[in-house]
Amino acid sequence: MYNIAMQESAVNLLQRIYGYDHFRGEQEAIIDAVVAGRDALVLMPTGGGKSLCYQLPGLIRDGVAVIISPLIALMQDQVNAMKQLGVPAAFLNSSLSMAQQTGIEHALRAGEIQLLYLAPERLLQQRTLGLLESLTVALFAIDEAHCVSQWGHDFRQDYLGLNLLHERFPDVPRIALTATADRRTREEIIQRLELSGAALFVSGFDRPNIRYAIATKTSPRSQLQAFLEYRQHEAGIVYCLSRKKVEDTAAWLSTKGYKALPYHAGLSAQLRETNQNRFLREEAVIIVATIAFGMGIDKPDVRFVAHLDLPKSIEAYYQETGRAGRDGEPAEAWMVYGLQDVVRLQQMQAGSDAPEQFKRAERHKLDAMLGLCEVTSCRRQVLLNYFDEEDHPPCGNCDNCQIPPKTWDATEAVQKLLSCVYRTGQRFGAVYVVDVLRGKDSDKVQQNNHQQLSTFGIGAELSEAQWRSIARQLVVRGLLAVDVEGYGALQLTDRSRPILRGEQTLELRKDELKPKSGGKKSRRSKRDIAPEHEALWQALRACRTRLAAENNVPPYVIFSDDTLQAMLADRPMSRMELLAIHGVGEKKLDNFGSDFIEVICQHTEVVQG
Ligand code: ADP
Ligand code: ZN
């Protein structure tokens, strides 16, 4: 039996294999529980370090650790990353030839593999279950465990079958992990995977290194361009709702000099794979994508996630933005949204033929999302409250904390808008109502004879954008409804009346309506390399790029930016010194140490003259 770690303590392994000196948060407690044979449910934010929680027990416990993960496309990278650390790992999926599969099965029987990655559908095949029953299984890790939940947003039918593990392998500990779990999802995971006896580890959901900013959509492209102005050297994701918009935006960004690639379910599998690989392997690639992109992407140095359209729930928003900054370095979650987004999502929901109860849940989630967009206090507090974390002070790292939005007494403007909706018969969308308010003498206005209305032209003092901002806020607050079955006509609600009658006043948010340039990079933005270190920094990166290509892995699998940065600061020139650097373990020292030492020596001699 091949086992690289039995008898060795977890913290030793952490240092020897990964080159890290201490555990983060609850990692150690989780590892201890699983090593002792207990089931565990781990809720930890993205970037918290979930992988170690099953990898280390997998090395310490006897037998092979089986990791169930929904995306076969990414297994190869995970396995390669483990191999770079000197850990024998493999995956079984349909991309392998028959001969390769037999080879892996043989290696498994010989006890030569310590981590085995499987998609759930593969695991549930009789052949696989039979194979596993003939082996010693160290543990089952169920990654992205929220996929078992129908209440959640990534439901996968195959995950439901995983409760069978409990029956077929009663003595093997199971560890389920996820980054998204509000209380209901969490309960569903426990129930469906039969984890009621499991040790529960809930880490805080906060991602303090991510800065949240949400602006009113005025001219999305110039807004995006302003946001990206100082980000030519950064990798990021831009999310759009439709495939067409994905392609248009990617093409447009390319003309602006960005390395922008499209990704959506309508592209060929081959092109999707190419674009995903370029995103993982090259530097500073922007992926423009629908939500089809991202699950399981564990690229640590994504510096921003931008939304050009509104996600339909806070869970979705938090998971998508959570793909930024897994390495813990400053990262940006940026979004523009407008009235049209609200109307579109409400219409999509109304048009679906889902059961009423489901629709109600969806509406509730959208309302929470809109609340996040409109809030004038700290956004992080809203996000964390949603995940039942209630005691956080204002964060200082969101747009509202940094530039508190102004509010104004909008009562009179709101009265004008509401009466204009009423006078035009509650049959028109916001664009038309605003035309009437501003006294625009268009053909359509003429046709309807609306230039005769008492509300025609009573709102000339505000711009179109300002009126749209007011309309949006009224819709979000339920003071106006959108006729979702029809053409998005605005209609009054019960709540409109007190304001129309002058019984209630209303403060609204004053939206910033001109695109601000991204301006100076965000406060704690990217590491700045001192000019005298620039040459070595570039040389270290070039060395990393070359080794990554030679080993067919992404650059960060060789060493993270953090590790290169530490080399820059400490200039290790011997193996001993290099081993002391964060992120340098035994195996990587052997494989890459001399290359980096050589680069450092060359550059250091030059500096010393
Ligand atoms: P998650 O799956 O929770 O999103 P990962 O397991 O991918 O997070 O870990 C995120 C990053 O943090 C990885 O680069 C990982 O190597 C690193 N990491 C994890 N645990 C530690 C630790 N104890 N010390 C230093 N870095 C760590
Ligand atoms: Zn804040």
Q: Is the pLDDT of residue 469 over 70?
A: yes
Is 210-402 in CATH node 3.10.20.310?
no
pLDDT tens for each residue of 46-57? 888 999 999 999
Q: Is 330 left (phi over 0), alpha (psi -120 to 50) or beta?
A: beta
pLDDT grade for 199, boundaries at 50, 70 and 90? very high
Most confident of 185-189, 297-301, 394-398: 394-398
Cα 265 to middle of ligand 1, angstroms: 29
- Asked if the domains at 10-202 and 210-402 fall in one CATH topology, the answer is yes
Q: Which one-letter amino acid corresponds to residue 257?
A: G
Q: Which two tokens stand for residue 171?
A: 């003595």
Q: Is the CB of 554 under 6 A from ligand 1?
A: no
When pLDDT is averaged across residues 34-47 and rounded to a whole number, the result is 93
Q: What is the mean pLDDT of the chain?
A: 90
Share of the chain above pLDDT 90, in %: 68
Name which residue leads in pLDDT, 379 or 608: 379
Whole-angstrom distance, CA of residue 476 vs CA of residue 590: 59
Whole-angstrom distance, CA of residue 166 vs CA of residue 75: 24
Cα 78 to middle of ligand 1, angstroms: 13
pLDDT tens for each residue of 546-557? 999 999 888 999
pLDDT tens for each residue of 15-37? 999 999 999 989 999 999 999 99
Cα 295 to middle of ligand 1, angstroms: 17
Question: What is the phi/psi pair of residue 305, to 5°?
Answer: -125, 120
Q: Is the CB of 48 under 6 A from ligand 1?
A: yes
Q: Which one-letter amino acid corresponds to residue 301?
A: D
Q: Is the CB of 298 under 6 A from ligand 1?
A: yes
For ligand 1, atom 26, name the residue with the nearest CA: 20
**Closest ligand (CA of 582):** 1
Q: Which ligand 1 atom sits closest to the C-alpha of 14? A: 23
pLDDT tens for each residue of 138-156? 999 999 999 998 776 678 8
When pLDDT is averaged across residues 293-319 and rounded to a whole number, the result is 90
Whole-angstrom distance, CA of residue 579 vs CA of residue 588: 9
Q: List C-alpha distances in Å: 536 to 160, 396, 598.
A: 51, 34, 11
Q: Is the pLDDT of residue 242 over 90?
A: yes
**Closest ligand (CA of 19):** 1
**Closest ligand (CA of 47):** 1
Is 531-608 in CATH node 1.10.10.200?
no
When pLDDT is averaged across residues 107-117 and rounded to a whole number, the result is 96
Note the pLDDT of residue 364: 85
Whole-angstrom distance, CA of residue 93 vs CA of residue 72: 7
Q: Which two tokens stand for residue 438?
A: 């501003």
Is 10-202 in CATH node 3.40.50.300?
yes
pLDDT grade for 544, boundaries at 50, 70 and 90? very high
Q: Is the CB of 11 under 6 A from ligand 1?
A: no
Q: Is the CB of 23 under 6 A from ligand 1?
A: yes
CATH class of the 407-509 domain in this structure: mainly alpha
pLDDT grade for 186, boundaries at 50, 70 and 90? confident
Whole-angstrom distance, CA of residue 414 vs CA of residue 260: 42
pLDDT grade for 524, boundaries at 50, 70 and 90? very low
Q: Which ligand 1 atom sits closest to the C-alpha of 44? A: 3
Q: Is the CB of 322 under 6 A from ligand 1?
A: no
3-class secondary structure for 184-216? HHHHHHHHHCCCCCCEEEECCCCCCCEEEEEEE
pLDDT tens for each residue of 58-79? 999 999 999 999 877 778 888 9
Domains of the chain, residue spans: 10-202, 210-402, 407-509, 531-608
